[in-house]
């Protein structure tokens, strides 16, 4: 509660007291009862009420986030040239009044979701892209009144600036900016650029009407049902194509893996065969070398020894036809034959 409200409250109490005493005086007078002293009290209450009302009408207190336009009967144009800032001020009672304006940040939201925006129902901005697609934009504008331009704002718009400036300027800026981009650009590569373009346009539009843009929020972009279905079908087709491509790549990898396995097995078989052939060759060479060494080491005496050794010890008796020589000595196998 500020001091102006205090004076106005006390003045109200004084007027109530004045009226109560005045009524009591009439009642006592109608009954023939004495009213001495009440008349004087009536005059005192009347003067106090008038004084307090006058003071209350001349004292104005503005909060920290308020500025005021002084409407004055003493000014040729009907208002003071400069607005009042926050704090306590004195104006001429009954001849001047103050219209307060808040300079705090205000948010104006236009949304397709019920309950989010200033207007009930679907209040999103319908716009057309460069390629003719219909989109719906949800947006918020955060702005303030320019204190230095408050007089101009009051003259042109009074308290209608939200509906007559903020809303139409924002909607027009969004529609104009959207029409410069394709639908694919809006939802992907150019969204930031779109938001920047809208912000610049709104900032100028509000500045021309004594308002300051603090921020612009591009909350959401929605599409028509037909386009949304087309986008969904396209995404499904792309996913299916990607899945098919992945299957093909998988099959290629499996085929390559099988080929490499087969190649490895073939290489292993070749290596094994070559190893077996090399081993057989080495074995044959070793046998030939052994036979050679054996052939060089054979003598008649050794032959006879081995012959006899093969006969014994299992041979107990040898029968020799009459007239033939004994089994030993053996014939000389080294002598040339006739």
The rounded distance, in Å, linking the Cα atoms of 176 and 196 is 13
- Give residue 118's pLDDT: 86
The pLDDT profile of the chain, 338 residues, written as one tens digit per residue, is: 567 777 778 878 888 887 888 888 787 777 777 666 677 777 888 888 888 888 878 888 999 999 999 999 888 889 999 999 999 898 998 899 999 999 999 999 999 888 888 888 889 999 999 988 889 999 999 999 999 999 999 999 999 999 999 999 999 999 999 999 988 888 888 899 999 999 999 999 999 999 999 999 999 988 877 665 665 566 656 666 777 687 778 878 887 887 788 788 878 787 888 888 877 888 888 777 777 777 777 766 666 666 666 665 666 665 556 655 555 555 555 555 54
Q: Which domains does the chain have, with CATH numbers?
A: 3-102 (no CATH), 106-223 (3.30.479.30)
* Nearest residue to 170 (alpha-carbon basis) of 215, 105, 122, 210: 215
**In Å, how far are 5, 23, 97 from 12, measured between CA atoms?**
10, 17, 19
Contact by Cβ (8 Å): 139, 217? yes
- Give residue 155's pLDDT: 94
Coil/strand/helix, residue 11: helix
- Give residue 160's pLDDT: 94
- Give residue 293's pLDDT: 72
The rounded distance, in Å, linking the Cα atoms of 153 and 148 is 10
- Give residue 27's pLDDT: 79
**Alpha helices of the chain — where are they, by DSSP H?**
3-30, 38-58, 150-156, 161, 167-178, 183-187, 191-207, 225-297, 300-311
* Nearest residue to 140 (alpha-carbon basis) of 104, 114, 116: 116
Q: Quickly count: other Cβ atoms within 10 Å of residue 203's Cβ.
A: 18
Q: How many CA atoms lie within 13 A of 30 on its CB side?
A: 6
Residues 6+ apart with CB under 8 A from 56: 4, 7, 8, 10, 11
The rounded distance, in Å, linking the Cα atoms of 191 and 200 is 14
């Amino acid at each position: 509660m500020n001091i102006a409200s205090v004076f106005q409250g006390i003045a109200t109490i004084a007027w109530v007291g004045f009226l109560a005493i005045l009524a009591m005086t009439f009642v006592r007078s109608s009954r023939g009862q004495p009213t001495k002293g009440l008349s004087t009290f009536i005059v005192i209450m009347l003067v106090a009420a008038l004084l307090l009302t006058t003071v209350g009408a001349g004292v104005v207190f503005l909060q920290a986030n308020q500025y005021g336009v002084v409407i004055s009967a003493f000014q040729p144009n009907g208002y003071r040239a400069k607005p009042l800032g926050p704090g306590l001020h004195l104006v001429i009672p009954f001849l001047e009044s103050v219209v307060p304006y808040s300079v705090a940040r205000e948010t104006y939201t236009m949304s397709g979701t019920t309950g989010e925006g200033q207007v009930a129902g679907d209040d999103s901005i319908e716009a057309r892209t460069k390629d003719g697609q219909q989109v719906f934009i949800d947006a918020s504008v955060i702005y303030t009144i320019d204190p230095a331009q408050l007089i101009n704002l009051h003259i042109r718009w009074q308290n209608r600036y939200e509906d007559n400036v903020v809303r139409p300027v924002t909607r027009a800026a969004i529609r104009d900016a959207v029409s410069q981009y394709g639908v694919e650009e809006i939802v992907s590569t150019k969204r930031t650029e779109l938001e920047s373009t809208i912000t610049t346009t709104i900032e100028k539009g509000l500045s021309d009407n004594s308002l300051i843009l603090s921020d612009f929020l591009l909350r959401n972009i929605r599409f028509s049902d037909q386009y949304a279905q087309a986008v969904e079908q396209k995404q499904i087709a792309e996913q299916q194509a990607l899945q098919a491509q992945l299957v093909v790549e998988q099959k290629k990898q499996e085929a390559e893996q099988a080929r490499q396995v087969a190649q490895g097995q073939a290489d292993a078989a070749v290596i094994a065969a070559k190893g077996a052939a090399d081993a057989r060759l080495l074995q044959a060479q070793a046998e030939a070398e052994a036979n050679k060494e054996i052939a060089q080491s054979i003598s008649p005496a050794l032959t006879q020894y081995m012959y006899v050794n093969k006969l014994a010890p299992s041979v107990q008796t040898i029968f020799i036809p009459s007239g033939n020589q004994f089994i030993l000595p053996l014939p000389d196998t080294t002598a040339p034959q006739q």
